[in-house]
């Protein structure tokens, strides 16, 4: 079993739709949860960064973490064609010698149709 599972999509939605992207994980030691956006042929860029359970909102984006279910979500409201990208979830836990282990999901490809 992979430590992080993410539906690869592709997910196609009409402009203005609410998008829900999800990841599940198996390691209860993960403490920090992130969502990265990656445009085609570019490097990942951080969208949301949360610690522990709860919600965090930033403009049209809301990140949700449920540690009891080992489930994280990213919601995009009023989706735009410019949101078309691959979304990677990531999580980290403290490892040996104070370093942090980061694990990435495989990414969900999102296409927002104008």
What is the contact surface with another protein in residues (CB under 8 A)? 4, 6, 8, 31-32, 34, 36, 41-46, 49, 51, 88, 90, 92, 94, 97-100, 102, 104-107
SS3 call for 107: coil
Task: Give CA angle at 67 (65, 72), nearest 5°.
Answer: 35
Smallest gap from residue 46 Cβ to another protein (A): 5
Smallest gap from residue 79 Cβ to another protein (A): 23
Please compute Rg for the chain using Cα positions: 14
Distance CA 15, CA 84 (A): 10
Pair of tokens at residue 54: 């709860």
Smallest gap from residue 44 Cβ to another protein (A): 5
Q: Which is nearer to another protein, 37 or 79 (CB)?
A: 37
């Amino acid at each position: 079993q992979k430590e992080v599972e993410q539906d690869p999509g592709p997910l196609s939605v009409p402009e203005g739709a609410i998008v829900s992207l999800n990841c599940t994980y198996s390691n209860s030691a993960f403490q920090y949860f992130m969502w990265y956006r990656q445009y085609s042929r570019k490097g990942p860029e951080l969208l949301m960064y949360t610690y522990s359970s709860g919600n965090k909102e930033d403009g049209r984006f809301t990140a949700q973490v449920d540690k009891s279910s080992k489930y994280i979500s990213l919601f995009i409201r009023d989706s735009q064609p410019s949101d078309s990208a691959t979304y990677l979830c990531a999580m980290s836990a403290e490892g040996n010698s104070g370093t942090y282990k980061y694990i990435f999901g495989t990414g969900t490809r999102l296409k927002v149709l104008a």
